Chain A
Amino acid sequence: MSGTFVGMPVFPPPTHPAFPKAAHEAVNNPTLRGNLRHATHTIRAKRAKAVAEVSDWAALREAGKRIKDHTLLHLDRYLVQLEEAVTAAGGTVHWAADADEANRIVAGLVKETGESEVVKVKSMATQEIGLNEALEAEGIRAYETDLAELIVQLGHDRPSHILVPAIHRNRGEIRDIFRKEMGEWGRPAPEGLTDTPAELAEAARLHLREKFLRAKVGISGANFMVAETGTLVVVESEGNGRMCLTLPETLISVVGIEKIVPTWQDLEVFLQTLPRSSTAERMNPYTSTWTGTTDGDGPQTFHLVLLDNGRSDTLADEVGRQALRCIRCSACLNVCPVYERAGGHAYGSVYPGPIGAILSPQLRGTASEIDASLPYASSLCGACYEVCPVAIDIPEVLVHLRERVVEGGEAVRGGNKVLLKPAKGHAAERAAMRAARWAFSHPAALRTGQRLASRSRRLHPRTLPGPGRAWSGTRDLPVVPAEPFRDWWQRTGGGKDGAK
């Protein structure tokens, strides 16, 4: 076993370049561009078809939004209700204020079982807190069992998509990773493995089987937690989730506090919108629900770790809190033209794409270079908002976070109100914006500027040096006209009598 890299990146990342710099490489990588284009376009068309099948999509989307908003506005009450219900059903509830605390709790619980390995269901929350690395540091090996997570883990790679963390890999690359790495971790890839998806899936089945059968501890997240019943829900496709949720003796679920829905009935909305939005299916192959423990069936010990890690700070932001409605379907990634070209790694977070661009700077704050650049990683085209099954107005939050970056202001970090300073590197822009605002508030000044530009137009180059290259490196500048419109309007009286 080589085992140099078992986990996901540490969260927050110590030093990650700003988004534009990180995207530069991806944009110029033709294989990556091809892989992302193929995958996102495939799923885009399928999602549109799956959504068009249900006539009441708009009403389901609206109800999903309202249920989540209602839950968030009464989150304290529902958390306590959930805790009571889970406890009554035989589970144990733990509370983790941040990533370190969650990792300590989980490592402690695994150690109590005396085991040194765990099988894991794909879970964004455990990626977010860097659980695998924390467990490794405690001598506990975590095996990812979702196919895409397995590809990432075996490839010593980083996830680049919420639903399909190995979306940046094509079938040929996956075959090569399996051939090279599977033997280091357990059962090697079958002889003569080809790159057909069915054979690759079969290889994963054989490789993971032994791990499932011997597993004593399973670790999961959850898609939903029902406050009134204490029920947890995991939505999946491959059956690895079922393996991890039912075969081990001990199950530990790490779940963000925003994953609550109040009632059992509320699931009827999300179990319709999530599969169609994520994998574009009427229903995903497997959904497991469990309430505490069941005598003689499945894990007899169940721990639920409720994770804050920046969520309550996000909740304090009136505009930004809508990001907590997210059900991690990935529809916004799949439809995003920026994600398609920059790839998931450029976002420097386990949450890439449009939702990542509003979630990471809220969960982590805007202090780092990458987090301060994420709100700008969007052309504000609005495609993400259009497909979001819980109607998160991602452009609205992006603009709100841009304001936080350039103007600073009040925010909550670690439960405390803080006054953020404007981010560095925006001074020239700020000055330009102020100057423009002044000119636009004084039409005469604007007009003088326009005339100056028009009169000197023959001297204008179509490309610019220095910072102007950001535009003119790839695009010519427009030719400035002989006179601005307002001069023509005044000269001709609005083009009266066919005046030119």
Chain B
Amino acid sequence: MSSRERILGRVRRALAEVRDEDAPVERGYLREHGARSVAETVDLLAENLADYRAVVHRCTADELAATLGRLVGERGSTAVAVPTGLPPEWLTATGAEQVADSAESTPYELDRVGSVVTGCAVAIAETGTIVLDGGPDQGRRRITLIPDHHICVVRVPEQVVSSVPQALERLDPARPLTWISGPSATSDIELDRVEGVHGPRTLEVVLVGGDRPSAELNTGDS
């Protein structure tokens, strides 16, 4: 008998006397917590991202290239990893060498790249989470992992949802997903949270959209 048959047999015997109640599970919990306007949801996202030490910036579509150029410049990175489907106009104000995401590049090569710029699939306001699904503007999982500085662009409000249940509805389980809530962190020393272990130690999130001027909305820099 194979172990597969052995295990399934044991499971079936264990359940032999169980009454089969195949009723659907009741879901008495909320689809989202609290009622908010679209603008308030975006504000909550910014607040929660910043609360877990992501640096949040807000700008209009017109200001995006300049914002990204400034952020890469301030970081001092000489090379930026770029997903193949990232809109080229995003990086027109960036002087750093652009390293295209490719199947051939090795982890060692990526380790020499200072920053990475990506889009995202969805962002969750209640938890301050951005989710990457490997789409054309996000690239392979490793390009947002090995460089120490990740700049993620979120199109607001269309990419923002309130809650975890709403995010799962939008996501395709067949794609490899990475949910990111702040820079890498650990609670392993005395159960106290410190930021900065293996993943990017700096996470900057640019909320792009709307027509409000960037100056007064610079949530995360304070």
Contacts and interface: CB of A to CB of B under 8 A. Distances in A.
Any A–B CB pair closer than 8 Å: yes
A257 interface: yes
Nearest to A69: B25
Given A240-B197, A242-B199, A257 B20 contact: no
Given A55-B30, A294-B134, A294-B175, A285 B20 contact: no
B65 interface: no
A282 B188 contact: no
Chain A contact residues: over half helix, strand or loop, or mixed? helix
A60 interface: yes
A486 interface: no
B127 A226 contact: no
A66 B26 contact: yes
A313 B197 CA distance: 39
Nearest to B28: A59
A67 interface: yes
A97 interface: yes
Interface stretch (B10-18, B69-77, B210-218): B10-18
Given A60-B29, A282-B181, A283-B129, A76 B188 contact: no
Contacts of B8: 76, 79-80
B179 A286 contact: yes
B66 to A, nearest CB: 29
B196 A243 contact: no
Contacts, number: 255
Nearest to A68: B25
Contact of B48 (A79, A209, A282, A415): A282
A200 interface: yes
B7 A42 contact: no
Contacts of B197: 147, 201, 204-205, 237-240
A313 B173 contact: no
B37 interface: no
Contacts of A412: 10, 13-14
Interface in B168-200: 168-169, 173-200
B114 interface: no
B20 to A, nearest CB: 7
Given A242-B141, A257-B11, A286-B199, A268 B189 contact: no
Interface stretch (B55-63, B88-96, B103-111, B151-159): B103-111
A251 to B, nearest CB: 11
B86 interface: no
Contacts of B199: 238-239, 242, 285-286
B126 A56 contact: no
A75 to B, nearest CB: 5
B194 A197 contact: yes
Interface string A264-295: 11111101100000010111111111110010
Contacts of A279: 187, 193
A198 B13 contact: no
Contacts of B15: 73-76, 315
Interface residues of A, number: 96
Interface hub of B25, B142, B199 (most chain A Cβ within 10 A): B25
A316 B9 CA distance: 12
Interface hub of B179, B188, B190, B199 (most chain A Cβ within 10 A): B188
Contacts of B189: 147, 171, 174, 197, 200-201
Contacts of B52: 281-282, 285
Given A63-B28, A238-B197, A297 B191 contact: no
Interface residues of B, number: 73
A296 B188 contact: no
B176 A290 contact: yes
A439 B116 CA distance: 77
Contacts of A237: 184-187, 197
A285 B183 contact: yes
Interface stretch (A33-41, A339-347, A443-451, A463-471): A33-41
B119 interface: no
B206 interface: no
A9 interface: no
Interface string A36-65: 001110110000000000111001101100
B149 to A, nearest CB: 13
Interface in A126-165: 145-148, 151, 163-164
Contacts of A243: 145, 198
* Interface pairs A-B: 6 shortest CB-CB: A239-B199, A239-B198, A316-B14, A312-B10, A283-B127, A238-B197
Interface of A: 35, 38-40, 42-43, 54-56, 59-60, 62-63, 66-67, 70, 73-76, 79-80, 89, 95-97, 101, 145-148, 151, 163-164, 166-167, 170-171, 174, 197-198, 200-202, 204-205, 208-209, 212-213, 226, 229, 231, 237-240, 242-243, 246-247, 257, 264-269, 271-272, 279, 281-291, 294, 296-298, 306, 308, 312-313, 315-316, 321, 334, 412, 415
10 contacts: A39-B190, A73-B20, A97-B6, A213-B108, A240-B197, A286-B184, A289-B176, A298-B176, A313-B14, A316-B10
